[in-house]
Structure 1
């Protein structure tokens, strides 16, 4: 492990030396009229990860037991195409792929095509941002700002994915076919969404059979999903060009917000009763949160977030997930591992479930004699404190500590992140906590 850590830090130093030679670049933007109020813009983003991971017990990598792993991958590779086509009409596309590493599709063809994440059109009914109506394939949603994050501006190395509650289950990487209304009225920022979810049987995985012990997404019937999100902004208004929500403004705005959001889908889940009848249950999520992102003296800045999430997927729902999982399978059996949805190997943890989650993060952009964002540092801490019904008294607490090195703001940055996560085991039919596992990741982000 020591040699791998030295290798990772050496790589970080080399990338810093290379990236300091890059310079700020203007946006790739075409004016469609003389004033520039009508325009079309293209952006590109690449997030490369270099990661050392302590694998969960029983992990196999291509059939071989492996307690530790080192992998290289592309967490996100994206391009955006968007613009104000007329005075009131906005067009937005996003194209790319995610979680591409050596195990991206270990059992099939590695040349899996990128896909459209977003494709939407939006019409502004008011003279300002008071009311916009849009529709298409979009991440716009209720619940939380982290349910629709601007991934190019996130402060921590990755977002709290649990807030994207149905990711790749009844959506396409958190995107749904939706119609929505959004806007800003006074100090209020709102969005209301009606979504047409995809069937769980279309997510590319074998859907679990209906169970008498815990709910899963129903394979029969179809219902629309209703979502809403409301923010009160005490000072500056948040960005409102796209539905995505900024991770950190790095001191360029004074943001102090409180928000509340939710999602509801009737009969989204199913399970068997004791008598063998099929029971349908509603999916209901609610969150309250506060977000602070403010400039401080000496060109420093503070970014902080605290949110409470009540997630209800039905009786005892639990799903494991591992971000860009380095493992491929497990040699554990049903007698010594948790049954249910998701893969328990690699870096997986119980990420989604019926229960309650508190998520918090705080970061501090260190002072500088210069006002720009070149060669700046921002350490951060984050904690996900979850209590899921399926795990009884065993909490799922995950902690991250890291630091960003902004070579040129979010356009070019390095992020080093250490994560500590729980594991669980079953001994003689009893669920117990296993050893905690760690990972150390380096990200190199380029965004233009």
Structure 2
């Protein structure tokens, strides 16, 4: 018993020592000893006490990025971004449109225009790595439902980009050589748009000239060189296009009108050259072009670009007479993104471009973003073309296109500090195609509510477009009237 009491006493003594040490060690270097007044009936008496003085935390700057520095200076880093664009879409459908077998004149639908994850970084002074994973045009039809089959709603996401890049000169943008699956394209700035920063609700998709035909949502397996030398921003690309047989859609048939070739395989060559008169644009992420800097930079560019591919297109001049043609596309354009009043935060954004689009004789393809209709009645197919239901219009074709947009950024904190501002815009695509008898005009008017710049914004957009009717005895298409579409987008980006 005596031995047991000694052990208990020793344990209590050790525990007491530990508690005393813990209390003493809880006093940090910022703790100070200062006099404290104790009030008594006879007057104040000063007593010295140890008092914990915890300094008020300093306010920290809010961060808008998820970035891990690989060195102390931050010049080597790895970063992740996330983007979600949700659409609420009311559409007046083209005549004859059906939704899962039922005729519908209009639709109200909810969808995801884009959901993306980017991961990229400067691994060393000479090495840059870029990945993008995500999905597009995901609504209740899951991008592929029709009356003769179905699609799988669980296989929409895929790798958009997987690029490795070598920076030839340290800390210089003169020359960067890269390769992989990439959106580094020629033709125009909107052939490789940074969709998180666009001013309009959606990009002019016609500028992504071969989208989902011989590429993967505008990405191709490519080897490229790009960079900035003085005022010149350039990129030249050799691409290995995909055969149209792998795009997941029904194959086009040979006829008098041009289609993408079903035989043969040739490399595609592209280039884009921009002369930057004022500030230089960002050049870090391979290929992508900013939509608007919201007045943060003074940008005025002139650009010219091209895409060419030997024997990319084919048509029948006569039964059994197969004619292969080169695909030749080029454009010239100007781009302005400029602050007007820095104190107020106002700015302007404008783009005007001319596109020459030669896909071969009478080529024409309809397309519509996040199409809410699944099919169209056979009797309503203009010129026998498929894919003309819902909100589609002749987006791609042999001929020429003029595209323009204009937007005005209103004053900073229009609705009070931290409550954001507005940016209204207008947008127009005017085309003359060989296979369409009259000038095609698609017009948009919209309003951005920039809650937190591009990181959080609401966009309300109205689009007015033509629809086309069958023409008996000819492959030419004539406009039958016009339809409208009202879309509300909520974008969150970090």
TM-score (norm 2): 0.83
Q: Partner of 2:280 in structure 1?
A: 237
Partner of 2:27: none
How far has the Cα of 1:299 moved from its partner?
1.2
Partner SS state of residue 245, structure 2: helix
Note if contact 1:92-1:119 (Cα within 8 Å) is conserved in structure 2.
Answer: yes
1:28–1:433 distance in 2 versus 1, CA, 3 Å: same
- SS of residue paired to 1:391: coil
Residue 379 (structure 1) aligns with: 424
The reply to whether residue 51 of structure 1 matches residue 97 of structure 2 is no
Displacement, 1:369? 6.3
Do structure 1's residue 331 and structure 2's residue 384 form an aligned pair? no
In structure 1, the residue corresponding to 2:371 is in which secondary structure? Answer: coil
Matches within 5 A, 1:81-96: 81-96=119-134
How far apart in 2 are the matches of 1:383 and 1:96?
A: 28
SS in 2 for 1:273: strand
Instruction: Compute the displacement of 1:333 (Å).
Output: 2.2
Which one of the candidate residues 68, 77, 82 is aligned to 1:30?
68
Query: Equivalents in 2 of 1:148, 1:372: separation in Å?
Result: 34
In structure 2, the CA distance between the partners of 1:24 and 1:73, relative to structure 1 (3 Å rule), is farther
Please give the alpha-carbon distance, in whole angstroms, between the structure 2 residues aligned to 1:389 and 1:339. Answer: 16
Conservation of the 8 A alpha-carbon contact between 2:188 and 2:305: yes
Does the 8 A contact of 1:215 with 1:316 survive in 2? Answer: yes
Once the two structures are superposed, residues 136-177 of structure 1 have per-residue CA deviations (whole angstroms, 9 ceiling, x without a partner) of: 000010000000000000000000000000000000000000
Measured after TM superposition, the shift of residue 337 of structure 1 is 2.1
Question: Which gives a bigger RCO, structure 1 or 2 (Cα 8 Å, sep 6+)?
Answer: 1
Compare CA radii of gyration and give the structure with the larger one: 2
Normalising by structure 1, report the TM-score.
0.92
CA drift at 1:119 = 0.1
**Would you say the 8 A contact 1:168–1:203 is kept in 2?**
yes
Query: Deviation string for 1:415-440 (max 9, x for gaps)?
Result: 00000000111355464321200000
- 1:436 is the counterpart of 2:456: no
Distance 1:428 1:179 in 2: 46
Q: CA deviation at 1:275?
A: 5.2
Is there any run of 5+ residues in structure 1 with no aligned partner, and where?
Answer: 1-22
Q: Structure 1 CA distance, aligned partners of 2:478 and 2:260?
A: 27
Give the equivalent residue in structure 2 for 1:8: none
CA distance 1:369–1:419, shift in 2 (3 Å): closer
- 1:193-233 C-alpha deviation (Å, 9 max, x unpaired): 0000000101011211111x111000101000000000000
Deviates more, 1:427-436 or 1:71-80: 427-436
Alpha-carbon contact 1:307-1:360 (below 8 Å) kept: yes
User: What is the correspondence of 1:139-178 to structure 2 with a 5 Å cutoff?
Assistant: 139-178=183-222
SS in 1 for 2:152: coil
RMSD (Å) for aligned C-alpha atoms: 1.6
Tell whether the 8 Å contact from 2:413 to 2:420 is kept in structure 1 after alignment.
no
Partner residue in 1 for 2:434? 389
